[in-house]
Amino acid sequence: MLNVSNNKPMEILLVEDGWTDARVTIFALRRSRVHHRLTLVRTVGEAIAFLRREGVFARAPHPDLLLLDMMLPDGSGLDVLAATQSMTDDESNHCGPTTVVLTASRDADLRKQCDELKVHDYMRKPVSEEDFMRVVRDHKKLMIHSTPILESVLS
């Protein structure tokens, strides 16, 4: 039987190399009062290691929400998305995290690639705090409402 609790914190992985953007996101999450635990990584390599639970991230939680910048020092957020697509069910916690892209890019091809890689939401920086929090709260509600359904199926 699953341990179901509405008080379970939302596990958030923020992949962002810009300190200013990271701080804005962190402060918005604090103001939201959404119960969460956040991990910040700054590179594609760190993000993939975290998602695969490798090396120093061997005990990392499976994220419920992946907040992903596209322009990173060692590659593109697309590399992280491709890695999540190629992960086994065990590595990705079966359905993988909800993914929200946060980018300053206005490239239509990038948006199309994100859609093909099943990104759940795509937001252009600077992101309005209200829109960002709507996405986070909607995902938290989805977590809370889907957990009892999953419990009944798996019991």
pLDDT, greater one: 94 or 117: 117
Give CA separation, 92 vs 99, 114, 120, 126, in Å: 12, 18, 16, 29
Q: What is the mean pLDDT of the chain?
A: 84
Q: 97 near 84, Cβ under 8 Å?
A: yes
pLDDT digits (tens, 9 = 90+) for 114-147: 999 889 999 999 888 898 988 888 877 776 655 4
pLDDT in the model for residue 32:
84
pLDDT digits (tens, 9 = 90+) for 21-56: 999 999 999 988 888 999 999 999 999 999 999 999
pLDDT in the model for residue 88:
53
Q: Where are the alpha helices (DSSP H) in 100-128?
A: 108-116
pLDDT, mean of residues 12-20: 96
Domain architecture of the chain: domains with CATH: 10-154 (3.40.50.2300)
Q: Provide the 3-class DSSP secondary structure of residue 111.
A: helix
Does residue 4 register a pLDDT over 70?
no
